[in-house]
Structure 1
Amino acid sequence: MKITKFLTAALFFAGTVFQANASDIPRGEYPRPQFERSAWMNLNGVWDYTFDFSASGLERGLEKATSFEGRITVPFCPESSLSGVGYTDFINCIWYHREVAVPEAWSGKDILLNFGAVYYNAEVYVDGVFAARHIGGSSSFSVDLTRLVTPGKSHHLVVRATSDVRSTTQGAGKQNLQYASYSCNYTRTTGIWQTVWMEAVDPAGLLSAHVVTDIDQGQLVITPRFRSESGNTLQITVKDGGKTVASAAVRAANSSVAVLSVKRPKLWSPESPFLYDINYRLVNAKGEVLDEVNSYAGMRKVHIEGNKIYLNNEPYYQRLVLDQGFYPDGIWTAPSDAALKRDIELSMAAGFNGARLHQKAFEERFHYWADRLGYITWGEAPSWGMDANGIEAARNFLTEWSELVLRDRNHPSLLIWTPMNEEWWPDRVQYPRFTADLYDLTKALDPTRPVNDASGGVHIKTDIWTVHNYEQDPARLKEIIYKDGVFFQTPLRSVGVVPANIGFNGLRLNDRYEFPSYDGKMPYFIDEVGGIKWAKDQERESQTESWGYGKPPKSQAEFLQRLEGQINGILELKDQVWGYCYTQLTDVEQEQNGVYYYDRTPKFDMKLIRAIFSRDPGDK
């Protein structure tokens, strides 16, 4: 993408901003489709920037800047080619600047500045005045600019983003902690990497709406929250196409709950991803509309009975793929909304019915397309890189994770929360405490979904028993899974007396901690398997620079034979195993074990791949 001069061209009518050049704005679509307002302005495009490797910017007064010498295309990170920068060394600090014109039509409204995500710490300044700080590289946040801006005037917006990805206090996910990418760690992402936008909201406007779909009673239970309480009324309308199927009006108070009965509800599932449209209107005593938000919901239920996961009260076998959400040109940021949709379509074409979204919190537009297309997801956070034993790391992660759960809990396609990946006993005191707190926090924020505490790692408090197994021999893989899932069912296994420095006045205590092993009373799920390497020209050339699991096959025929053997072996264990996640959807840089190449072109005859992955237990 060439960097071109970004001009804001907007037409103002009845308080609504219509962006005349929206097609010229990178990632110009509305970024929050489950909570959409009409009065908004996309701030993506060319900004000024400067690196601040000495972290002296505040001493030099950069928060008061009216321009910087560099140009960067937002929302793409400076490491990416789409940003126009392409700097891939460590970036500890970067400053952004652009002018923002607040529409005069927004007078009397609160002006909110929204960020999809900024990695990792963000400070926001307006005309040199500090506005807000946010800590956390994946969760969205809003800044109330009302006191700092004047409708009809332009202001200087400055964002300072800092990151210390090797500090162990922040989750890095698959961002590499060395200079260059290696094994299953890839190019880093720093600074603004999701859409920035501004919107006008009534001071008493809707802050959020938590939607719980109760299919057993045939109802939607909606808990709204408001920016302030002023004796107004919230009107809620639920539609099936253009037909109203339910409506309610409740007092606009943070204690209000709306229960809407939906007769003969149409349920959401991968086979039938039906969505109801929801409209929220905040009206005053005169009947004037103060705030209006459009949304949607899918009525579905996910729960666990015994060792099976249920969808809509029926056992539902999940055939997932590991999706890391990396792009050759955008790194963590998809080059377009269409690219997000296409990744889901490619996965479904390969025979998968969902994905474990691995070591990255995906943007809301991905969840939107998953909802629309009928695609199961497991929500995860970039936990790798943090010290799960550290107090500061725990505080950072718990806060960011709670923001992600609150942001995404209304999406019907998201079935399971799995916050961490492969944690292996950082210690026997703080790690169990942290993991139990993480489970309890997740359940408090969203009691409707199962929680997988640490995918493939040591389980402390979990609803699903997940394991990772990259044994390449199909027969050996089946044998290991069978023994692990059946023969080794001991309720508790003691790790003995372990010294643990818990930091109380330098005391060192002996701690006996017994952790659970699989007992057959919860779903057993292989949420990483396969990882069979296949690189271009693998059958003819050595591929020592690429990375994958096990000894690579020498031909496509050998690849397909191994793949089919592994998946069939898992399917045959349907009484012990209730789903799998294959590694992975696409290659990522040097890791070349996807079913598609990094550029999303297919490696194999996808009809053969689909025939393997589309099978459920019991299929002939």
Structure 2
Amino acid sequence: MTPAMPKPEHPRPQLVRDKWLNLNGTWGFEIDAGDSGLERGLTTRELNSEILVPFAPESALSGIEHVDFMEAVWYRRTVTIPQEWAGQNVLLHFGAVDHDATVWVNGVEVARHRGGFTPFTADLEGVVEPGTDAVIVVRARDSRHEMQARGKQATWYNNTHCQYTRTTGIWQTVWMEAVPAVHIKRLRMTPNLADSSITLEVPVSQNRSGHTVTAVLSDGSGMRIEESAKADLDLTPSLRLSIPEGSLRPWSIEDPFLYDLEVCVRNGSGEVVDHVSSYAAVRSIALDGKVVRINGKAVFQRLVLDQGYWPESLMTSPDEAALVRDIELSMAAGFNGARLHQKVFEERFLYHADRLGYLVWGEFGDWGVSGGGTIGHNQKPTASFVAQWLEVLKRDFNHPSIIGWCPLNETHQILHDRLTVLDDVTEAMFLATKLADPTRPVIDASGYAHRIRETDIYDSHSYEQDPDRFRIEQQGLAEGKPYINRKADGEEYSVPYAGQPFFVSEFGGIWWNEVEARQAVKGSDVSTSWGYGQRVSSEEEFYTRFDGLCSVLLDNPDMFGYCYTQLTDVFQEKNGIFNFDRSNKFHLERIRASQTRPAAIEGGN
């Protein structure tokens, strides 16, 4: 049973203040099929139904479960601003609203935002006062007729193949917090393993004479480092926190150690005017030939493709435990990380990945353009992709679990002598990533069209199901001629491989549905599921194929990792290690045994 306050946890674990208010729960709701609600006065009247936020109206947990297309939806809620927030500014935060959002408070438009995966904030200064009511109205537009970043959301009515039920409107936590006029906006932490330090940037909202920022780093065992800097000269004061010899514990999958971090702003009289709690970690990522090193050590990345869907709540996790469980299930199966595939996961997922030592690649949800537009020369993502991706990088820069960025996925674009909008967007997203984060490797686009010669990582996708043919397909990497995705007629998508670290970032996808397999044996194979290639006929055949495919990549001394498709079944797609409800589908010890022996790049046989 869903609680009255779903997902009550603080949604931003790396920047926590004491004065905050979770706004999840029951809101007024109305479907606006013709997107005429503004003309019909929906900003000023009660709505005709109710919804449980933050669950999307397509989901069962929302109480709506309307799965047809919705051009626009509206939300309404009245909130009393706590009296104890007197003298503070009120910030209204949205974790994610799909896709174009407009927000009014007490009849005043306070925010507009484009993009279904990234957070945005409305400053309510001058609009509401502590002790008074705030009437919050949200309109979310999610047109099926426009090019937009959809991830795996179906662009036609039914779920089909690897496209799933859509998400419209609010799907992550809505919340408020009280901040002073001079406050910390968002911390930025850059680890420096080589000199045992963390560079901490503390952007502030204003520069007031005499103000300072102070940071305290501690390890729970007596180590305490305190540094201060002026906050009245620069919008982003910077501090260097040097960790004493003997107190350094690099973050790793074996020891995912997190330091406690407290940061405050003081005025000219020394009084604390703003205070936030956070955490930090120290680890390094380096590229050495074809090896990706973490803290100087070759670590074979045994990744799984995680789509981040749940049957009852779609892209929103049903609760906190569900986030933790997916990581623990993956690790129990022998994976040490994931490609967070075609959506931007909730920040609390990354927090749990940080504390559990789980490697992840951050990714943007661009694949809907491929699925909904013309695949090939005319695919045209927009400049909005770049803006939204920069919001992702800003939000997630500090997480030590993120060990690479993947701005685009499977951009089908033939390599020819004319530049296109897709070429421009690919280059813009790659360059923006390198500028925003010079500390992590970037892959220009996963699979298919590699268009940036200086991409840090090169990859391909292969769903070849026969291990022997898969080995032959992949053996050219030793001679600098890896398997590269091409059109069926041989036309090229990509610039030539230049010796970068290489991995097969999608493989496997072994199709197994026990019920349908039994029906097939009886001669009544009416398949309603989907998977890659020829499905296995028995569970034992699955283990043999899984072991064979993994062995090809583990045994390749030039392969730094892989990503198996996928963690769970998702709706009709039956190629998960677990069922869609996360129940066991296989004997995990056999799945784990196929993966956990040392890989060749780690010094294995």
Q: Which bin holds the TM-score, normalised by the shorter protein? A: over 0.9
The Cα offsets for residues 166-194 of structure 1, whole Å up to 9 and x where unpaired, read as 422x1111000110100000000000000
Q: For the residues of structure 2 that align with 1:457 and 1:95, how far apart are their CA atoms?
A: 39
Deviation at 1:385, TM superposition (A): 2.2
- 1:343-397 Cα deviation digits (max 9, x unpaired): 0000000000000000111010000000010000000011012369889842110
Query: Do structure 1's residue 112 and structure 2's residue 108 form an aligned pair?
Result: no
Give 1:616 shift: 2.8
- Equivalent pair of 2:460/2:483 in contact (CA under 8 Å): no
Aligned to 1:422: 410
3-state SS of paired residue (1:539) = helix
2:504 and 2:213 map into 1 onto residues whose CA distance is 45
Matched residue SS, 1:248: strand
Q: Is the 8 A contact 2:480 2:497 kept in 1?
A: no
Contact 1:586/1:598, CA 8 A, preserved across alignment: yes
Identical pairs, percent: 42
Q: Which shifted more, 152-161 or 369-378? A: 152-161
Counting only pairs closer than 5 Å after superposition, residues 234-273 of structure 1 correspond to structure 2 as 234-241=213-220, 243-252=222-231, 253-264=234-245, 265-273=248-256
1:49 corresponds to: 29
Counterpart in 2 of 1:11? none
Asked if the contact 1:270/1:376 (under 8 Å) is kept, the reply is yes
**How far apart, CA to CA, are the structure 2 residues paired with 1:390 and 1:244?**
57
Which residue, out of 457, 473, 484, partners 2:466?
A: 473
CA contact (8 A) 1:184 1:591 kept: yes
Match of 2:475 in 1: 482
Residue 593 of structure 1 pairs with residue 581 of structure 2: no
Give distance in 1, aligned partners of 2:218 and 2:478: 45
- Which residue of structure 2 aligns with residue 401 of structure 1? 389
- 1:186-233 CA distance string (max 9 Å, x none): 000000000000000011000111100000011110111111111311
> For residue 594 of structure 2, what is the amino acid of its counterpart?
I
Residue 448 of structure 2 contacts residue 493 of structure 2 at CA under 8 Å; is this kept in 1?
no
Q: Distance in 2 between matches of 1:480 and 1:586?
A: 27
Contact 1:490 1:517 (C-alpha < 8 Å) held by counterparts: no
CA–CA distance in structure 1, aligned partners of residues 254 and 512 of structure 2: 31
Query: How far, CA to CA, are the matches of 2:568 and 2:483 in structure 1?
Result: 37
Match in the other structure for 2:432: 441
The C-alpha deviation readout for 1:553-602, integer Å capped at 9, x for no partner, is 1111111001101111111112x211100000000000000010000011
TM-aligned CA distance change 1:392 to 1:469, over 3 Å: closer
Please give the alpha-carbon distance, in whole angstroms, between the structure 2 residues aligned to 1:490 and 1:90: 39
Counterpart in the other structure of 1:508: none
2:581 alignment partner, SS class: coil
Residues 1:224 and 2:202 aligned together? yes
Does the aligned pair in 1 maintain the 2:213–2:237 contact within 8 Å?
no
The offset of 1:245, in angstroms, is 3.1
Task: Specify the SS of the correspondent of 1:466.
Answer: strand
Paired residue type of 1:63: T
136 and 568 in structure 1: CA distance in 2 versus 1, 3 angstrom threshold: same
For the aligned residues, what is the CA RMSD?
2.0
CA displacement at 1:31 relative to structure 2: 0.3
Q: Is the 8 A contact 1:207 1:225 kept in 2?
A: yes
List per-residue Cα deviations over 1:453-509 (Å, max 9, x = no partner): 111121122111111000000010011011256363799x9xxxx9xxxxxxxxxxx
Alpha-carbon offset, residue 515 of structure 1: 5.1
Q: Which 10-residue stretch deviates more, 328-337 or 432-441?
A: 432-441
Q: What residue identity is the alignment partner of 1:53?
A: A
Offset at residue 544 of structure 1 (A): 1.1
Q: 1:390 to 1:291 in 2, by over 3 A?
A: farther
After superposition, where does 1:449-598 map in structure 2 within 5 Å? 449-461=440-452, 462-483=455-476, 486=479, 488=481, 516-519=495-498, 521-541=499-519, 542=525, 544-574=527-557, 576-598=558-580
CA distance 1:166–1:241, shift in 2 (3 Å): farther
**What is the match of residue 258 of structure 2?**
275
Task: Note if 1:187 corresponds to 2:180.
Answer: no
Say which of 297, 313, 324 aligns to 2:296. Answer: 313
Q: CA deviation at 1:543?
A: 5.5
Task: Say whether the 8 Å CA contact 2:216–2:227 is kept in structure 1.
Answer: yes
Contact (CA 8 Å) 1:165, 1:171: kept in 2 or not? no
Q: What whole-Å deviation, never above 9, does each CA across 1:49-92 have from its counterpart, x for those lacking one?
A: 11111111111121123x21201000000000000000000111
Whether 1:79 and 2:58 are equivalent positions in the alignment is: yes
Deviation at 1:613, TM superposition (A): 2.2
Q: Which moved more, 1:530-539 or 1:298-307?
A: 530-539
CA contact (8 A) 2:26 2:52 kept: yes
Match of 1:52, as an amino acid? D
Equivalent-residue separation in structure 2 for 1:222 and 1:172 (angstroms): 34
Counterpart of 2:596? 614
Using a 3 Å threshold, how does the CA distance of structure 1 residues 26 and 246 change in structure 2: closer, same or farther?
same
State the match for 2:326 in structure 1.
343
Q: Which residue of 1 aligns with 2:522?
A: none
Q: Residue by residue, what CA displacement relative to the aligned partner does 1:94-113 show, whole Å, maximum 9, x if unpaired?
A: 00000011011111111000
How far apart, CA to CA, are the structure 2 residues paired with 1:157 and 1:429? 42
TM-score of the pair, normalised by structure 1: 0.90
Question: Within 1, Cα distance between the matches of 2:336 and 2:526?
Answer: 31
SS, match of residue 479 in structure 1 = helix
The amino acid across from 1:48 in the alignment is G
What does residue 509 of structure 1 align with? none
Q: How far 1:242 moved relative to its partner?
A: 5.4
Count residues in correspondence: 577
| Structure 1: runs of 5+ lacking an equivalent | 3-22, 499-512
Q: Is the 8 A contact 2:476 2:483 kept in 1?
A: no
- Mapped to 2, the partners of 1:304 and 1:436 lie a distance apart of 21
Kept after mapping to 2: 8 A contact 1:238/1:279? yes
Q: Which whole-Å deviations, capped at 9, do the CAs of 1:404-445 have from their partners, x for residues lacking one?
A: 000001000000000111011177332222211111100111
Whole-Å Cα distance in 2 between the matches of residues 401 and 207 of structure 1?
19
Give the structure-2-normalised TM-score: 0.92
Closer/same/farther in 2, CA of residues 472 and 278 from structure 1, 3 Å limit: same
Kept after mapping to 2: 8 A contact 1:490/1:518: no
Maintained 8 Å contact 2:51/2:62: yes
Partner in structure 2 of residue 31 of structure 1: 11
CA 1:327–1:489: 2 relative to 1, 3 Å: closer
Question: Structure 1, residues 521-578: CA drift from partner, whole Å, max 9, x if none?
Answer: 211110001000111324312361100011111111111001101111111112x211
Residue 270 (structure 2) aligns with: 287
Counterparts of 1:283 and 1:543, CA distance in 2 = 69
3-state DSSP class of the match of 2:350?
Answer: helix
| Pairing of 1:335-414 with structure 2 (within 5 A) | 335-386=318-369, 393-414=381-402
